[in-house]
Amino acid sequence: MVTSSNANGSSTKPDMGRRWSRSLPNLSNAIGSLSDRLLFAVPKKGRLNQACLDLLSGSDIQFHRHNRLDIALVKNLPIALIFLPAADIPTFVGEGRVDLGITGRDQVAEHEATTPATQDSGVEEVMDLEFGRCRLQVQVPEQGPYQKPEDLVGKNVVTSFVGLTEEYYRAFESQQDGAVNGEAGSGGKLRTKIKYVGGSVEAACALGVADGIVDLVESGETMRAAGLKAISTVIESTAILIRSKKPSDPKLVALIANRIRGVITAQKYVLCTYNVERKALDQACKITPGKRAPTINSLEDQGWVAVSAMVLRKNVALTMDQLTEAGATDIMITKIENSRVD
Ligand SMILES: Nc1ncnc2c1ncn2[C@@H]1O[C@H](COP(=O)(O)OP(=O)(O)OP(=O)(O)O)[C@@H](O)[C@H]1O
Ligand SMILES: O=P(O)(O)OC[C@H]1O[C@H](OP(=O)(O)OP(=O)(O)O)[C@H](O)[C@@H]1O
DSSP 3-state of 138: strand
Question: What digits encode the pLDDT tens for the residues 161-209?
Answer: 999 999 999 998 877 765 555 444 445 567 899 999 999 999 999 999 9
Of 11, 104, 98, 3, which Cα lies nearest the Cα of 49?
Answer: 104
- Mutational pocket test of ligand 2: of 45, 139, 222, the residue with most ligand atoms within 8 Å of the beta carbon: 222
Percent of the chain topping pLDDT 70: 87
Question: Hey, how many other C-beta atoms are within 10 angstroms of the C-beta on 28?
Answer: 7
Q: Is 46's C-beta closer than 6 angstroms to any atom of ligand 2?
A: yes
Measured over the CA atoms of residue 189, residue 195, residue 201 and residue 205, the dihedral's sign is negative
Which residues, including other chains, have CB under 8 Å from residue 335's CB and lie 6 or more apart?
270, 271
Contact 240, 119 (CB under 8 A): no
Dist. CA 49 → ligand 2 center (Å): 14
pLDDT score of 198: 94
**pLDDT for res 176:** 73
The pLDDT confidence band at residue 32, using thresholds 50, 70 and 90, is low
Helices (H) and strands (E) in the chain, counts: 10, 17
Residue 19 pLDDT = 43
The mean pLDDT value for 279-284 works out to 97
**CA atoms of 280 and 327, how far apart (whole Å):** 7
State the chain's mean pLDDT as an integer: 89
- CA atoms lying within 13 Å on the CB side of residue 129: 26
Q: The whole model's pTM is what?
A: 0.85
pLDDT at 184: 44
Average pLDDT estimate for 113-130: 94
Neighbours of 317 (CB within 10 A): 9
Contacts of 144 (CB under 8 A, 6+ apart): 211
* Contact indicator for 79, 257 with CB cutoff of 8 Å: no
Going from the Cα of 306 to the center of ligand 2, the distance in angstroms, rounded, reads 48
Return the pLDDT at 279. Answer: 96
98 closest CA partner among 290, 245, 311: 245
Q: In whole angstroms, what is the distance from residue 210 CA to residue 191 CA?
A: 14
Nearest-10 crossing angle of helices 250-268, 49-58: 100
> What is the pLDDT at residue 66?
86
Mean pLDDT (whole number) for 245-257: 95
Q: How far is CA 105 from CA 169, 222, 239, in A?
A: 20, 21, 6
pLDDT digits (tens, 9 = 90+) for 254-269: 999 999 999 999 999 9
Q: Residue 340: what pLDDT?
A: 87
**Residue to mutate (ligand 2; options 160, 165, 216, 228; most atoms within 8 A of CB):** 216
Alpha helix segments (H runs only) across the chain: 30-33, 49-58, 89-94, 105-114, 162-181, 203-206, 221-225, 250-268, 281-287, 316-325
Half-sphere exposure of 236 (CA within 13 A, CB side): 4
Residue with the nearest Cα to atom 9 of ligand 2?
216
How buried is residue 33: exposed, middle or buried, by Cβ count under 10 Å (0-12/13-18/19+)? middle
Distance in Å, CA 50 to ligand 2 centroid = 16
What 3-state DSSP class applies to 79? strand
Specify the pLDDT at position 69. Answer: 85
Nearest CA to ligand 1 atom 24: 199
CB-count burial class (<10 Å; 0-12, 13-18, 19+) for 164: buried
Confidence of residue 24 (pLDDT cuts 50, 70, 90): low
More confident residue, 23 or 167: 167
| 323, pLDDT greater than 90 | yes
